Amino acid sequence: MIAVVVRGDDAVVAQLMNEVEMDTSHCVREGTGWVEISSGNGDAAFMGVQNGVGTVVTWRDEAPTWAVAARYKVDAREQVVPVEDGCVVATFDGVPENSWPRIVAWIDGEGAERDFRLSAPR
């Protein structure tokens, strides 16, 4: 498992199923447990959407070996998230359903930003 992000009775679970297949699941709380309501091989999912706005979780499992962080952007907001075990996970609240975060830069150990397209092969 890469990450679990919970907002109230909604959760997004990001995980690697094997060496090449990723899975991003949207789950909801039912009673004392959780039930998956959608799942796919993408790297992002929305949850808690009300009036077209919700929380989006996005992730990558292929950070360059030299990267210590990634800068994500959605609309006018940016967020720097650390690389952990070769993966990055970003969560943005209050995002319109049709807006998807994207990596705009990888950040090396000296704080320099590099082109986001420089990533390690799978």
Instruction: Confirm whether 121 is domain-assigned.
Output: no
Q: Which residue's structure tokens are 């790297």?
A: 43
Instruction: Give dist(CA 44, CA 25) in Å, integer.
Output: 9
Instruction: Confirm whether 49 is domain-assigned.
Output: yes
Instruction: Confirm whether 105 is domain-assigned.
Output: yes
Instruction: Confirm whether 42 is domain-assigned.
Output: yes
| Residue 121 pLDDT exceeds 70 | no
Q: Could you report the per-residue pLDDT of 24-74, keeping only the tens digit for each? A: 999 999 999 999 999 999 899 999 999 999 999 999 998 999 999 999 999
Length of the chain: 122
Instruction: Confirm whether 122 is domain-assigned.
Output: no
Q: Is 8 left (phi over 0), alpha (psi -120 to 50) or beta?
A: left
Instruction: Give dist(CA 122, CA 106) in Å, integer.
Output: 17
What is the domain count for the chain? 1
Which residues span the domain enclosing 26?
3-115
Instruction: Confirm whether 76 is domain-assigned.
Output: yes
pTM score of the predicted model: 0.88
Instruction: Confirm whether 120 is domain-assigned.
Output: no
